[in-house]
Amino acid sequence: MREAVVLVTGANGEIGHGLVSRLAERGERVVGLDLSPAASPVAEQCHEWIQGSILDSSLLSRLVSQYEFRTIYHLAAMLSTRAEFTPGAAHAVNVEGTLNLLEMAAEQTEWSGRRLKFMFPSSIAVYGLPDLATKAEAGSIREKTWNLPTTMYGCNKAYCEHLGRYYANHYKQLGAAKGVSGVDFRAIRYPGLISAATVPSGGTSDYIPEMIHRVARHEPYECFVRPDTRIPFMAMPDAIRAIVALEEADEAALSWRSYNVTSFNPSAQEFLDELLTRWSDAQVEFQVDRKRQEIVDSWPADVNDDAAREDWGWEPLYDFTSALDDYLVPGIASEMGGGVA
Ligand code: SER
């Protein structure tokens, strides 16, 4: 018999850090798959750590022979800034890697007779607003609007949502219908995420997490977007709560498969102003990178998450102030060994 486990790809990434602990606390046996070696503290919380790539099909075949996956959290991805430098590689990781895992998941469903849950972090990058006037007018946008992404990453995530919908609702629709098939795909369109434990790399919403981590270390920071730049954000514990809550939701309650979630949406200046009340020596200058600015300007100023609230009871724990005072400021201090003044 194969062992029943939860697979987390990209387990050593920002979301993986919190998610693996949360799943381990819930008593799950987690198999972590990541390009990084097992040296990470996340690996210690896993039943097994596999250093490898989601593009390695022989590795995936070995996993299928060894484990029965109950759920897959597919976190591995190349983020939006990095993807613009190597769009072909981004497509391979973000799309072909996802397709490999969806295929593996559908095969597992056939074996087990139970539709495997496939949890997918999508992004506000699936939206594309054409200009700032439209962005201001659009305000808080719903899932089915403004779906014309301008980045490779956004296109990849949008297409993977379609793939997920296909595997969930229309998989092999011309085949002889017998038995349970396909994959129970569920996606969360995350806003920018801010973790006390890690700093992201390769994303375009990175200016907010980079700013607080630099300021907490009393280091100068050059913010690459204008002070008035506004997109939604969320504290990492809420991001973890959201994806776990969506996993636990009854499938019959889901009116669709890709949900907005959000917590707060300060401008870069408003975020800095809050930091200045906590670290009066904060040295932040605005040095706009025009191209990265254009990407952030194409993302919504806010998203409407009513569907998540109504369908599966989503509600963030942290608002802007409590995210800072109850999570980020103490959390970063403790990561630094209590060294934040
Ligand atoms: N944080 C992502 C990025 O900046 C967007 O979801 O690429």
Tell me the per-residue pLDDT of 85-107, one tens digit each, with 9 for 90 and over: 999 999 999 999 999 999 999 99
What's the pLDDT tens digit per position in 15-41? 999 999 999 999 999 999 999 998 778
Ligand 1 pocket residue status of 94, Cβ below 6 Å: no
Distance CA 315, CA 263 (A): 8
The atom of ligand 1 lying closest to the CA of 205 is 4
For the chain, the farthest-separated pair of C-alpha atoms sits apart, in whole angstroms, at: 68
**Which residue among 15, 75, 78, 79 has the greatest number of ligand 1 atoms within 8 angstroms of its CB, and so is best to mutate?**
79
Half-sphere exposure of 138 (CA within 13 A, CB side): 26
| 50-77: average pLDDT | 94
Which residue shows structure tokens 């009393």? Answer: 218
- Amino acid identity of 114? R
| Cα-to-centroid distance, 178 and ligand 1 (Å) | 40
Reply yes or no on whether the pLDDT at 156 is more than 70.
Answer: yes
Distance CA 15, CA 122 (A): 12
pTM of the model: 0.96
Reply yes or no on whether the pLDDT at 3 is more than 90.
Answer: no
Reply yes or no on whether the pLDDT at 42 is more than 70.
Answer: yes
Over the chain, what is the mean pLDDT? Answer: 95
- DSSP classification of residue 39: T
> Smallest Cα–Cα separation from 149: which of 300, 262, 306?
300
Write b or e for each residue in 300-313: b if 16 or more Cβ atoms lie within 10 A of its Cβ, otherwise e: bbbbbbebbeebbe
Question: What separation in angstroms does the CA of 103 have from each of 126, 159, 275?
Answer: 23, 15, 46
| Cα-to-centroid distance, 210 and ligand 1 (Å) | 13
Ligand 1 pocket residue status of 204, Cβ below 6 Å: yes
Ligand 1 pocket residue status of 123, Cβ below 6 Å: yes
Ligand 1 pocket residue status of 195, Cβ below 6 Å: no
| Cα-to-centroid distance, 206 and ligand 1 (Å) | 7
> Smallest Cα–Cα separation from 8: which of 58, 56, 45?
45
- DSSP classification of residue 224: S
| Cα-to-centroid distance, 153 and ligand 1 (Å) | 8
| Cα-to-centroid distance, 147 and ligand 1 (Å) | 16
Q: What is the pLDDT of residue 337?
A: 83
The alpha carbon of 214 is separated from its chain's Cα centroid by a whole number of angstroms, namely 22
| 215-242: average pLDDT | 98
- Domains by residue range for the chain, with CATH: 77-335 (3.40.50.720)
Reply yes or no on whether the pLDDT at 295 is more than 90.
Answer: yes
Ligand 1 pocket residue status of 153, Cβ below 6 Å: yes
Ligand 1 pocket residue status of 122, Cβ below 6 Å: no
What's the pLDDT tens digit per position in 157-216? 999 999 999 999 999 999 877 789 999 999 999 999 999 999 998 999 999 999 999 999
Beta carbons of 259 and 161 less than 8 angstroms apart: no
Q: What is the pLDDT of residue 339?
A: 47
| 246-252: average pLDDT | 97
Q: Is 228 exposed, middle or buried (0-12, 13-18, 19+ CB in 10 A)?
A: exposed
> What are the helix (H) ranges across 12-71?
14-25, 41-44, 57-66
Helix, strand, or coil (residue 192): strand
